[in-house]
Amino acid sequence: MLICSKTGSSSGIGEGTALKFASLGANVVITGRDELRIKNVAEKCRKISKQKAIEVRADLTKESEVKNLINKTIDEFGRLDILVNNAGIGKFSSLDDPNLMQIFDTTMNTNVRSVLFVTSLAVPYLEKSKGSIVNISSVLGLKPVLYFHFKKSFRFLFYFC
């Protein structure tokens, strides 16, 4: 039984890879903030696979919701084999933007802090299962352009740690 928890699986790249994991026979945890989109993706997974697709709504910038995501995964399956750090937002701003620091905080909380926190909670289970962590980054992480690209560089650096 392979269990894959994938952040940001309610749309886009996350949805696509959740469907791929499901088609390969993994049980998947579909998560994001939008309950309707989560439900739709989970239903698609169930249509293509006999394995389970559970739905867990979680805002990754809120520690209690991240804890709930990991707890629900373990309560349901008893193990975790793959964590995919995919959820992310892309917000651009210039140094004279009056909302610069608010955009910075939201971006860093979503794309950097949450990755560290969810991974720290998942690692004890991944060590037990000898599982894997997949970090979805961007080629932009290799180019230094203000903070947007720092957040992507973080996922490369995190991989090498």
Q: Where do contacts with ligand NAP occur on this chain (CB under 6 A)?
A: 8, 10-14, 32-34, 37, 58-61, 86-90, 110, 136, 138
Minimum gap (Å) between residue 117 Cβ and ligand NAP: 11
Q: Distance between CA atoms of 51 and 1, rounded to whole angstroms?
A: 9
Minimum gap (Å) between residue 130 Cβ and ligand NAP: 26
How would you label 56-73 residue by residue, b for 16+ Cβ within 10 Å and e otherwise?
Answer: bbbbbbeeebbeebbebb
Contacts of 148 (CB under 8 A, 6+ apart): 90, 91, 92, 107, 140
In terms of CB distance, is 32 or 131 closer to ligand NAP? 32
**Spatial CA neighbour of 110 closest among 80, 144, 68, 154:** 154
In terms of CB distance, is 59 or 76 closer to ligand NAP? 59
Minimum gap (Å) between residue 150 Cβ and ligand NAP: 13
Minimum gap (Å) between residue 141 Cβ and ligand NAP: 8
Residue that the structure tokens 């794309």 belong to: 111
In terms of CB distance, is 63 or 76 closer to ligand NAP? 63
In terms of CB distance, is 7 or 51 closer to ligand NAP? 7
In terms of CB distance, is 78 or 92 closer to ligand NAP? 92
How far CA 122 is from CA of 47, 115, 135, 155, in Å, comes to: 28, 10, 13, 16
Q: Distance between CA atoms of 81 and 91, rounded to whole angstroms?
A: 31
Minimum gap (Å) between residue 87 Cβ and ligand NAP: 4
